[in-house]
């Protein structure tokens, strides 16, 4: 009997088995992508559906750079926030510090929401939050304007249902100024065709608000919070965030 030939055959068989096992482990490792449940809500242009919107594009890019998969669900804003507090929702975005439920872990910001002031043309421009003091300020119910504004006792906020109502009040002299963001408020102004009669500067906001993801402040929540933060930093370095959000 040729023992050498048998030994060689056995050795080759062992190497083949090892190679197959390594391939299986390698493939298993590559396909073992972590799934993270996350919720959001409809925002025109930013979150149009579970597959469309600028923030959805960001979500998909985060999946690529961090080798994760978000299981996204959309629901009304208040329901998302309340469901997070009860534990029915694991994580969500976008959120602002003013409304962040505590305790929670927030990621680094992926954009800053600009709050600008709008006045009638010919009136002195308002370029700082302190300029709002002593004025009747038009705002929208449920919108965030930053703690520096809402906690200032010298700033009188008159909240209504939408920016269209605020524009009517501004021209009727019932308020002195409107505050709003560069997306929804400017869209309302353009739709009203009153741009020529108003003063505002999108490059001189009265407040800048961090926008971020929210996770539980314990266990895997902290791990995922840090993981998404690292992904955001990568997108920032690559220039994606600036391209999407300015």
Determine how β-strand 136-140 pairs with β-strand 177-181: parallel
pLDDT value of position 10: 53
d(CA 241, CA 230): 13
Strand 207-215 and strand 92-95: the pairing is antiparallel
* Spans of the chain, pLDDT less than 70: 1-31
* Per-residue pLDDT at 26: 43
pLDDT at 21: 47
* Residue 169 host element (H or E): helix 163-171
pLDDT score at 57: 97
CB 129 within 8 A of CB 241: no
Q: What is the pLDDT of residue 27?
A: 42
Strand boundaries in the chain, DSSP class E: 34-40, 68-74, 92-95, 105-106, 111-120, 136-140, 156-160, 177-181, 198-199, 207-215
């Amino acid at each position: 009997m040729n023992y050498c030939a048998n030994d060689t055959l056995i050795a080759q068989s062992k190497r083949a088995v090892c190679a197959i096992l390594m391939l299986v482990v390698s493939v298993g490792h590559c396909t073992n992508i972590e799934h993270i449940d996350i919720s959001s809500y409809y925002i025109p242009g930013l979150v149009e559906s579970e597959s469309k919107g600028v923030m959805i594009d960001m979500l998909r890019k985060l999946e690529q750079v961090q080798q994760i998969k978000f299981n996204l669900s959309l629901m009304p804003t208040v329901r998302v926030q309340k469901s997070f507090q009860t534990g029915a929702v694991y994580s969500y975005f976008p959120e602002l510090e003013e409304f962040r439920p505590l305790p929670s872990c927030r990621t680094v910001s992926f954009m800053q929401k600009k709050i600008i002031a709008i006045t009638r043309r010919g009136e002195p421009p308002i370029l700082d939050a302190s300029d709002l003091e002593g004025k009747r300020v038009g705002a929208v119910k449920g919108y965030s304007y930053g703690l520096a504004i809402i906690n200032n006792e010298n700033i009188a906020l008159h909240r209504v249902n939408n920016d269209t109502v605020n524009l009517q009040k501004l021209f009727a002299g019932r308020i002195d100024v409107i505050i709003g963001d560069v997306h929804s408020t400017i869209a309302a102004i353009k739709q009203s065709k009153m741009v020529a009669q108003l003063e505002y500067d999108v490059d001189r906001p009265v407040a800048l608000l961090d926008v971020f993801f929210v996770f539980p402040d314990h266990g895997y929540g902290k791990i995922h919070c840090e993981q998404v933060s690292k992904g955001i930093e990568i997108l920032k370095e690559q220039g994606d965030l600036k391209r999407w959000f300015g």
